[in-house]
Protein backbone atom coordinates (compact mmCIF):
# COMPACT_ATOMS: atom_id res chain seq x y z
CA UNK A 1 0.00 0.00 0.00
CA UNK A 2 2.04 2.89 -1.32
CA UNK A 3 -0.37 5.79 -1.90
CA UNK A 4 -0.15 8.05 1.17
CA UNK A 5 -3.52 9.67 0.39
CA UNK A 6 -5.26 6.29 0.35
CA UNK A 7 -3.54 5.27 3.59
CA UNK A 8 -4.49 8.57 5.26
CA UNK A 9 -8.11 8.13 4.13
CA UNK A 10 -8.21 4.57 5.50
CA UNK A 11 -6.78 5.74 8.83
CA UNK A 12 -9.43 8.47 9.02
CA UNK A 13 -12.14 5.88 8.36
CA UNK A 14 -10.66 3.63 11.06
CA UNK A 15 -10.66 6.50 13.53
CA UNK A 16 -14.37 6.86 12.79
CA UNK A 17 -14.84 3.19 13.71
CA UNK A 18 -14.78 1.58 10.25
CA UNK A 19 -13.40 -1.90 10.87
CA UNK A 20 -13.41 -2.79 7.19
CA UNK A 21 -10.96 0.07 6.57
CA UNK A 22 -8.69 -1.37 9.24
CA UNK A 23 -8.87 -4.76 7.51
CA UNK A 24 -7.61 -3.08 4.32
CA UNK A 25 -4.76 -1.47 6.30
CA UNK A 26 -3.99 -4.83 7.90
CA UNK A 27 -3.92 -6.62 4.54
CA UNK A 28 -1.70 -3.89 3.11
CA UNK A 29 0.81 -3.91 5.97
CA UNK A 30 0.83 -7.44 7.39
CA UNK A 31 3.75 -8.39 5.13
CA UNK A 32 5.78 -5.49 6.49
CA UNK A 33 5.09 -6.53 10.09
CA UNK A 34 6.02 -10.15 9.31
CA UNK A 35 9.32 -8.97 7.79
CA UNK A 36 10.05 -6.97 10.94
CA UNK A 37 9.31 -10.09 13.00
CA UNK A 38 11.70 -12.18 10.90
CA UNK A 39 14.42 -9.50 11.01
CA UNK A 40 14.24 -9.47 14.79
CA UNK A 41 14.31 -13.25 15.04
CA UNK A 42 10.80 -13.39 16.47
CA UNK A 43 9.85 -17.06 16.74
CA UNK A 44 6.16 -16.47 17.19
CA UNK A 45 5.57 -14.19 14.22
CA UNK A 46 1.80 -14.59 14.12
CA UNK A 47 1.50 -13.56 17.76
CA UNK A 48 3.69 -10.52 17.11
CA UNK A 49 1.54 -9.59 14.10
CA UNK A 50 -1.64 -9.95 16.12
CA UNK A 51 -0.32 -7.98 19.09
CA UNK A 52 1.04 -5.26 16.80
CA UNK A 53 -2.25 -4.71 15.02
CA UNK A 54 -4.27 -4.85 18.24
CA UNK A 55 -2.04 -2.09 19.63
CA UNK A 56 -2.31 -0.14 16.39
CA UNK A 57 -6.11 -0.31 16.46
CA UNK A 58 -6.33 0.67 20.11
CA UNK A 59 -3.86 3.58 19.76
CA UNK A 60 -4.88 4.83 16.34
CA UNK A 61 -5.82 8.24 17.76
CA UNK A 62 -2.15 8.80 18.69
CA UNK A 63 -1.01 8.56 15.05
CA UNK A 64 -0.09 12.14 14.12
CA UNK A 65 0.69 11.54 10.43
CA UNK A 66 -1.90 9.09 9.06
CA UNK A 67 -0.07 8.76 5.74
CA UNK A 68 2.84 7.20 7.65
CA UNK A 69 0.80 4.29 9.02
CA UNK A 70 3.30 1.75 7.62
CA UNK A 71 6.27 3.29 9.42
CA UNK A 72 4.20 3.64 12.58
CA UNK A 73 2.97 0.04 12.58
CA UNK A 74 6.50 -1.28 11.91
CA UNK A 75 7.74 0.75 14.90
CA UNK A 76 5.02 -0.81 17.03
CA UNK A 77 6.12 -4.27 15.82
CA UNK A 78 9.74 -3.54 16.77
CA UNK A 79 8.71 -2.31 20.21
CA UNK A 80 6.52 -5.35 20.78
CA UNK A 81 9.37 -7.67 19.76
CA UNK A 82 11.88 -5.85 21.98
CA UNK A 83 9.46 -5.85 24.91
CA UNK A 84 8.93 -9.59 24.49
CA UNK A 85 12.67 -10.20 24.42
CA UNK A 86 13.28 -8.03 27.48
CA UNK A 87 10.22 -9.45 29.21
CA UNK A 88 11.37 -13.03 28.70
CA UNK A 89 14.83 -12.14 29.97
CA UNK A 90 13.32 -10.39 32.98
CA UNK A 91 11.05 -13.37 33.62
CA UNK A 92 13.93 -15.84 33.48
CA UNK A 93 16.04 -13.64 35.76
CA UNK A 94 13.16 -13.05 38.18
CA UNK A 95 12.37 -16.74 38.42
CA UNK A 96 16.03 -17.50 38.99
CA UNK A 97 16.33 -14.87 41.71
CA UNK A 98 13.11 -15.99 43.37
CA UNK A 99 14.26 -19.62 43.31
CA UNK A 100 17.63 -18.57 44.75
CA UNK A 101 15.88 -16.56 47.46
CA UNK A 102 13.76 -19.56 48.34
CA UNK A 103 16.88 -21.74 48.48
CA UNK A 104 18.57 -19.16 50.71
CA UNK A 105 15.68 -19.17 53.12
CA UNK A 106 16.23 -22.91 53.61
CA UNK A 107 12.79 -23.48 55.04
CA UNK A 108 12.94 -26.63 57.17
CA UNK A 109 10.60 -29.40 55.93
CA UNK A 110 8.29 -28.98 58.92
CA UNK A 111 7.90 -25.32 57.95
CA UNK A 112 6.91 -25.90 54.32
CA UNK A 113 3.24 -25.86 55.21
CA UNK A 114 3.76 -22.53 56.97
CA UNK A 115 5.34 -21.08 53.82
CA UNK A 116 2.42 -22.22 51.68
CA UNK A 117 -0.07 -20.86 54.18
CA UNK A 118 1.73 -17.49 54.20
CA UNK A 119 1.76 -17.24 50.42
CA UNK A 120 -1.92 -18.23 50.19
CA UNK A 121 -2.87 -15.70 52.91
CA UNK A 122 -1.02 -12.93 51.13
CA UNK A 123 -2.56 -13.82 47.77
CA UNK A 124 -6.02 -13.98 49.29
CA UNK A 125 -5.41 -10.69 51.08
CA UNK A 126 -4.59 -8.78 47.91
CA UNK A 127 -7.47 -6.56 46.88
CA UNK A 128 -8.81 -6.97 43.37
CA UNK A 129 -6.81 -4.74 41.08
CA UNK A 130 -3.54 -4.41 39.20
CA UNK A 131 -1.28 -5.73 41.96
CA UNK A 132 -3.33 -8.90 42.44
CA UNK A 133 -3.60 -9.34 38.65
CA UNK A 134 0.18 -8.99 38.32
CA UNK A 135 1.05 -11.44 41.10
CA UNK A 136 -1.50 -14.10 40.17
CA UNK A 137 -0.75 -13.68 36.46
CA UNK A 138 2.99 -14.14 36.97
CA UNK A 139 3.10 -16.80 39.68
CA UNK A 140 -0.11 -18.75 39.13
CA UNK A 141 -0.89 -18.30 35.43
CA UNK A 142 2.70 -18.37 34.16
CA UNK A 143 2.49 -15.07 32.28
CA UNK A 144 5.68 -13.23 31.43
CA UNK A 145 6.46 -9.68 32.43
CA UNK A 146 5.95 -8.72 28.77
CA UNK A 147 2.50 -10.35 28.76
CA UNK A 148 1.54 -8.43 31.89
CA UNK A 149 2.88 -5.16 30.46
CA UNK A 150 0.62 -5.50 27.44
CA UNK A 151 -2.37 -6.85 29.35
CA UNK A 152 -2.25 -4.09 31.94
CA UNK A 153 -0.82 -1.31 29.75
CA UNK A 154 1.88 -0.83 32.38
CA UNK A 155 5.62 -0.19 32.23
CA UNK A 156 8.10 -2.96 32.92
CA UNK A 157 9.25 -1.22 36.10
CA UNK A 158 5.69 -1.10 37.40
CA UNK A 159 5.19 -4.83 36.87
CA UNK A 160 8.55 -5.82 38.37
CA UNK A 161 8.00 -3.48 41.35
CA UNK A 162 4.68 -5.17 42.10
CA UNK A 163 6.34 -8.58 42.00
CA UNK A 164 9.22 -7.40 44.20
CA UNK A 165 6.84 -5.94 46.78
CA UNK A 166 4.93 -9.21 46.93
CA UNK A 167 8.12 -11.28 47.37
CA UNK A 168 9.25 -8.92 50.14
CA UNK A 169 5.89 -9.33 51.91
CA UNK A 170 6.16 -13.12 51.67
CA UNK A 171 9.65 -13.03 53.17
CA UNK A 172 8.65 -10.68 56.01
CA UNK A 173 5.52 -12.61 56.92
CA UNK A 174 7.31 -15.96 56.71
CA UNK A 175 10.18 -14.67 58.85
CA UNK A 176 7.76 -13.38 61.48
CA UNK A 177 5.91 -16.70 61.57
CA UNK A 178 9.07 -18.76 61.79
CA UNK A 179 10.63 -16.55 64.45
CA UNK A 180 7.40 -16.77 66.45
CA UNK A 181 7.59 -20.54 66.11
CA UNK A 182 11.17 -20.52 67.42
CA UNK A 183 12.85 -21.36 64.11
CA UNK A 184 15.46 -18.61 64.32
CA UNK A 185 18.05 -20.50 62.26
CA UNK A 186 16.29 -19.31 59.11
CA UNK A 187 18.46 -17.22 56.81
CA UNK A 188 16.48 -14.57 54.91
CA UNK A 189 19.08 -13.06 52.60
CA UNK A 190 19.06 -9.31 52.09
CA UNK A 191 15.72 -8.05 53.36
Question: Does residue 187 lie in a domain region?
Answer: no
Question: Does residue 139 lie in a domain region?
Answer: yes
**Mean pLDDT of all residues in 83-99:** 56
Tell me, yes or no, whether 75 and 115 share the same domain: no
Question: Does residue 49 lie in a domain region?
Answer: yes
Question: Does residue 97 lie in a domain region?
Answer: no
User: Which phi and psi (to 5°) does residue 66 adopt?
Assistant: -55, -30
How does pLDDT run across 16-62, given as a tens digit for each residue? 989 999 999 999 999 988 888 877 776 667 888 898 899 889 888 88
Question: Does residue 87 lie in a domain region?
Answer: no
Average pLDDT across the chain, whole number: 77
Tell me, yes or no, whether 9 and 73 share the same domain: yes
Tell me, yes or no, whether 110 and 163 share the same domain: yes
Tell me, yes or no, whether 77 and 112 share the same domain: no
pLDDT top residue among 106 and 134: 134
- Residue 161 CB contacts under 8 Å (≥ 6 apart), including other chains: none
Last residue of some domain: 66, 82, 98? 82
Q: For position 162, what pLDDT does the model report?
A: 93
Question: Does residue 157 lie in a domain region?
Answer: yes
Domain count, the chain: 2
Tell me, yes or no, whether 9 and 63 share the same domain: yes
Q: Flag whether pLDDT at 84 surpasses 70.
A: yes
Q: Are 168 and 105 in contact (CB under 8 A)?
A: no
* Cα(126)–Cα(129) distance, integer angstroms: 8
Tell me, yes or no, whether 30 and 71 share the same domain: yes
Tell me, yes or no, whether 15 and 77 share the same domain: yes
Core vs surface per residue 92-112: b (16+ CB within 10 A) or e: eebeeebeebeeebebeeebe
Q: For position 143, what pLDDT does the model report?
A: 82
Structural domain harbouring 121: 106-180
Last residue of some domain: 50, 82, 114? 82
| CATH code: domain of residue 8 | 1.10.1740.10
Q: For position 150, what pLDDT does the model report?
A: 92
Percentage of the chain exceeding pLDDT 90? 20
Question: Does residue 26 lie in a domain region?
Answer: yes
Last residue of some domain: 82, 116, 151? 82
Question: Does residue 153 lie in a domain region?
Answer: yes
Q: Flag whether pLDDT at 110 surpasses 60.
A: no
Amino acid sequence: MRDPKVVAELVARCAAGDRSAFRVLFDGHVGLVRRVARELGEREGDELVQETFVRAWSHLESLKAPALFGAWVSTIARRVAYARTRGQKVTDEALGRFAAELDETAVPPESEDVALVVVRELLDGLEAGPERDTVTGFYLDGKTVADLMVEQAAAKGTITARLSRFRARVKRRLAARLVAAGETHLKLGSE
